[in-house]
Amino acid sequence: MAVLAAHDLTIEYATGRGLLRAVDHVSFTVEEAGSTLGIIGESGSGKTSMVSLLTRVYPRNTARAGGTVVFDGQDISALSAEEYRRRVRWSRIAVVFQGAMNSFNPVLRVGRQVGERLLLDGRLSKREVTREVERLFELVGLTRDVARAYPHELSGGMKQRASIASALSMGPSLLILDEPTSALDVSVQAQIMNLLKRLKGERKLTYLFITHDIALAADIADTIAVVHAGELRELGPADDVLTSPRDPYTQQLLASVPRLHGDRPPSFLAGAPPDPLQRPAGCRFHPRCPRTFAPCAVRPPALVTVAEGHMARCWLHADAPGTAGAAAGDAAGGAAGAAGTAGTAEDSGAAEAAGAGSAGTASAEDAGRAVDIDAPSREARR
Amino acid sequence: MSAAASPGGSAASAPSLVEAEGLRVHFHPRSGLLRRSTVRAVDGISLVVGRREVVAVVGESGSGKTTLGRALLRLAPISGGAVRFDGADLLALDRPALKAYRRRAQVVFQDPYASNSPFMTVGEQLREPLAVHGIGAVSGREEIVLRALEQVRLTPAADFVDAYPHTLSGGQRQRICIARALVLEPEFIVADEPVSMIDASSRAEILSLLRELQARQGVSFLYITHDIASARHFSDRTTVMYLGTAVEVGPSAGVIEEPLHPYTKGLIAAVPEPDPRNRRRMRSVIPGEPPNAAAVPAGCPFHTRCSQVIRGRCDRERPKLQDVRPAHSVACHLYDGSV
């Protein structure tokens, strides 16, 4: 049974110019406990909105949030906001937010802030909390005395370690890491990546690792999901996606990485991701794609299986346009791109994925009931 | 754009535009924890940027690379050493001469979200430097602005003139900042971490643009970065900086293919590459973070983090830059016998 199965995740924000669908029917699973799903996308691709859906901390202007999330066999999207807060948030699913290292209160000692949730939880005495915080600090490679320091006395790398300790304080098994190293130097980034790898092995932690940098994702992810304009474009085992990417977007992301060896300069993706309020017809990537052909501008491609456990959303891989997947896309009309979103990421057994990928079932209209919107985002400790 | 990438080191013989010699920038904080100490942000750097050359300065936060860039523009107080621009002593410039220098030397900052005014259109921001320096008739400035936008590939340029920065992506904003530097037709641009806040997928676009400006218009760049892999492709020569000093200097390809200094090797080992095997192994990283520039260790500044430290030597005597290969020098006691 999958550790995490997200189905038909969709989120819409109310903006001055209309409804903005930041995440559009995204489905994925993390099969094995202790494995890492890397989610890669540019700014505006919807990757941070996916974090909102999983953690149920929504921006104020969220108009609709839908989809189901099954975690450890339990449908956590069906829980009430209060139940989610008591039973899931931090204790089972924790987040290291982007910029978490800069969110420490400058006038409180770091240890006090890392132990805050343990204190509020009330199960441990004050002294036990202090000891637990020291243990957490050692776990993330900080000395005990750092707990007594104030945030300004810590370097960026130390603060990021402390925010990881904070996220781990309630013993979660799933850690969502939203750009955890983007504000750090390359050398400190490598230290944090080593720490995450060690924790993953020692504690069997499952990670969702969210980044705009495919090279960084390669450092830790077992499965890679590439998102663009609110949709999954490619999903598969890291070995496969990194060595033989099928989607032109993934190929371009890989080509944009400056390599240490060889004289070939990195290429780049021209242009910017499409305006989410005016996404292009057909394939949402086609205006930036170097390999467009007839169907790309007209019909949205479905997510189809291209290899064992490996899916891509690209007409180059839809062997027979006009078959099931494409037809469903046409029939759904306004529900562009709905066909085939019910794919699953298979880490191990791939038999299921082969079936699930090609047969698009869900349409935009029946895309999971809207979940209630949790208390305002100030609940998130940022 | 790839044609612009001249082989590393070839420009080293070009006549120099910027020359720093033993440059020092020391700060004396008057309050706070560091009072009564001296912060040695830049501590004796010599550096040459030739005409039509891109020189990368690579180092971690706190290495002094930003202060170095500012000092070359006379935006930081210079405590010692000399800086010459096109043969003229920068420290001797009076106000009018300094203003003239500011036209010839420009800067692009790290954060494109903070270095554009949200209340001014792109056109207004680009016209401002022209007004400050009294360039062109007011009516002729529009043309200069449009040309600059085209140079940074914001086309059709007319569409961008009336746009406000919030409607643009990070990469587009950074190109506005580059265009703003370009309207004055500078000879030298300090690009301080110009892509570190931009999506990985758009970084190469900005950097190849700088390369193109170098090749087509002969602009020289000081490219400040913590990402040594990008220096490999977008600079001719690289200076690796640690705690205010240069620890390795050489042709960029040579420095990265055959690094000499243990610090350079550590920076290279830290670069993530999209190799799926990486997730199964730990990266060999430099432990810790650079010490405070107010308490630079005695001897080699790097010896406290170096895995190859020679006790009794590295902690006592500061190594000098020495040529180990043609045009490739290193400040490290490991190479003392090899010269």
- Tens digits of per-residue pLDDT, B126-144? 999 999 999 988 888 999 9
Write out chain B residues lying below 8 Å of A185, CB-based: 60-61, 226
Q: List residues bridging with A176 in a β-sheet.
A: A95, A208
What is the number of helices (H) and of strands (E) in chain B?
10, 12
pLDDT for B279: 92
Asked if B273 lies within 8 A of A268 by C-beta distance, the reply is: no
By C-alpha distance, the chain A residue nearest B271 is A186
Core vs surface per residue A195-205: b (16+ CB within 10 A) or e: bbbebbeeeeb
Confidence check: pLDDT of B13 > 80: no
Between β-strands A18-30 and A4-15, what pairing exists: parallel, antiparallel or unpaired? antiparallel
Q: How confident is the model at residue A173 (pLDDT cuts 50, 70, 90)?
A: very high
Q: Classify A230 in phi/psi space as left (phi over 0), alpha (psi -120 to 50) or beta.
A: left
Rounded to an integer, what distance in angstroms lies between the CA atom of residue A271 and that of residue A342? 30
Which pairs from B282-288 meet CB under 8 Å and 24+ separation? B282/A194, B282/A197, B282/A198, B283/A190, B283/A193, B283/A194, B283/A219, B285/A187, B285/A190, B285/A191, B285/A194, B286/A187, B287/A191
pLDDT tens-digit readout, A111-148: 999 999 999 999 999 999 999 999 999 999 999 999 99
pLDDT for A255: 95
pLDDT for A337: 34
Q: Is the pTM of this model over 0.90?
A: no
Confidence check: pLDDT of B226 > 50: yes
For residues B115 and A150, the model is more confident at: A150
CB A72 within 8 A of CB A92: yes
pLDDT for B8: 37
Q: Phi and psi at residue B160, in whole multiples of 5°?
A: -90, -20
Residue A193 touches chain B, beta carbons under 8 Å: yes
Q: Which of B206, B279, B292, B305 to mutate to test the interface with A (most CBs of A within 10 A)?
A: B279
Confidence check: pLDDT of B98 > 70: yes
Q: How confident is the model at residue A331 (pLDDT cuts 50, 70, 90)?
A: very low
Write out chain A residues lying below 8 Å of B205, CB-based: 268-270
Tell me which residue has tokens 């750092």.
Answer: A146
Mean pLDDT of all residues in A66-79: 95
CB B1 within 8 A of CB A265: yes
Q: Please, what is the average pLDDT of chain B? A: 91
Which pairs from A17-20 meet CB under 8 Å and 24+ separation? A17/A277, A18/A277, A19/A63, A19/A64, A20/A276, A20/A277
Lowest mean pLDDT among A32-36, A99-103, A196-200, B53-57: A99-103
First to last CA, chain A: 32
Instruction: Given the cut 0.90, state whether the ipTM is greater than it.
Output: no
Residue B1 touches chain A, beta carbons under 8 Å: yes
Q: Please, what is the average pLDDT of chain A? A: 84
Q: Which residues have C-beta within 8 Å of that of residue B313, sequence separation ≥ 6?
A: B299, B333
Confidence check: pLDDT of B1 > 50: no
Residue ranges and CATH numbers for the domains of chain B are 15-338 (3.40.50.300)
Distance in Å, alpha carbon of B84 to nearest chain A alpha carbon = 31
For residues B283 and B235, the model is more confident at: B235
CB pairs under 8 A between A and B: 147
Mean pLDDT of all residues in B283-309: 92
pLDDT for A50: 95
Rounded to an integer, what distance in angstroms lies between the CA atom of residue A272 and that of residue A88? 37
pLDDT tens-digit readout, A232-276: 999 999 999 999 999 999 999 999 999 999 889 999 887 778 888
Q: Which of A60, A21, A26 is nearest to A368 (CA)?
A: A26
From the list A218, A258, A272, which residue is nearest B230 (CB)? A258
Lowest mean pLDDT among A348-362, B58-72, B80-94, B101-115: A348-362
Q: How confident is the model at residue A1 (pLDDT cuts 50, 70, 90)?
A: confident
CB A110 within 8 A of CB A162: yes
Asked if B232 lies within 8 A of A260 by C-beta distance, the reply is: yes
pLDDT for B136: 85
For residues A271 and A168, the model is more confident at: A168
Element (H, E) at B69: helix B65-72
Asked if A258 lies within 8 A of B172 by C-beta distance, the reply is: no
From the list B5, B200, B234, which residue is nearest A212 (CB)? B200
Q: How confident is the model at residue B33 (pLDDT cuts 50, 70, 90)?
A: low
